[in-house]
């Protein structure tokens, strides 16, 4: 479980997974909360911030932006080094690729795993 007290100013927090492993107070210490798509973020039973949406701690009014708004330049991303930001997504393949690469590297460093033939 990620404890809110561990979050230092300037941190970027990206919860990962379908079950919440974070405290409800996490959103209270954030300067900006960004999601990939609010339509997906507030719908359905799954997501790391599901409890935050269900209890009203995360809603359209305290959401800073959707990722596309930042990419398109309609809303600012990080504006200072001490800004504490949270990015929650419901399924960006980029995270899967980054996590997979990190796991592969760690396995190779430890001499674990095996190669499988793909045909």
| Contact between residue 58 and residue 33 where contact means Cβ atoms under 8 Å apart | yes
Cβ contacts of 78 within 8 Å, gap of 6 or more: 12, 32, 85
What are the structural domains, with CATH classification, of the chain? 4-103 (3.40.50.720)
CB-hemisphere CA count at 13 Å for 35? 21
Q: How far is CA 57 from the centre of its chain?
A: 16
pLDDT at 64: 97
Separation CA 36–CA 98 (nearest Å): 17
pTM of the model: 0.74
**CB neighbours of residue 71 within 10 Å:** 11
Task: Please state, in angstroms and rounded to a whole number, the distance separating the CA atoms of residues 114 and 116.
Answer: 6
Say what the pLDDT of residue 116 is.
87
How does pLDDT run along the chain (119 residues), one tens digit per residue? 889 999 999 999 988 766 667 888 999 999 999 998 888 777 777 766 788 888 889 899 999 999 999 999 999 999 999 999 999 877 667 777 888 899 999 999 999 998 888 88
């Amino acid at each position: 479980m990620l404890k809110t007290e561990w979050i230092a100013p300037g941190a970027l927090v990206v919860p990962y997974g379908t079950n919440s492993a974070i405290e409800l107070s996490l959103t209270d210490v954030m300067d900006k909360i960004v999601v990939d798509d609010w339509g997906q973020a507030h719908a359905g039973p799954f997501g790391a911030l599901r409890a935050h949406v269900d209890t009203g701690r995360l809603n359209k009014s305290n959401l800073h932006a959707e990722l596309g708004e930042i990419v398109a330049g309609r809303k600012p991303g990080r504006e200072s080094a001490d800004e504490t930001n949270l990015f929650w997504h419901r399924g960006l393949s980029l995270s899967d690729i980054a996590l997979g690469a990190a796991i592969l590297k760690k396995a190779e460093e430890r001499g674990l795993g095996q190669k499988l033939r793909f045909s």
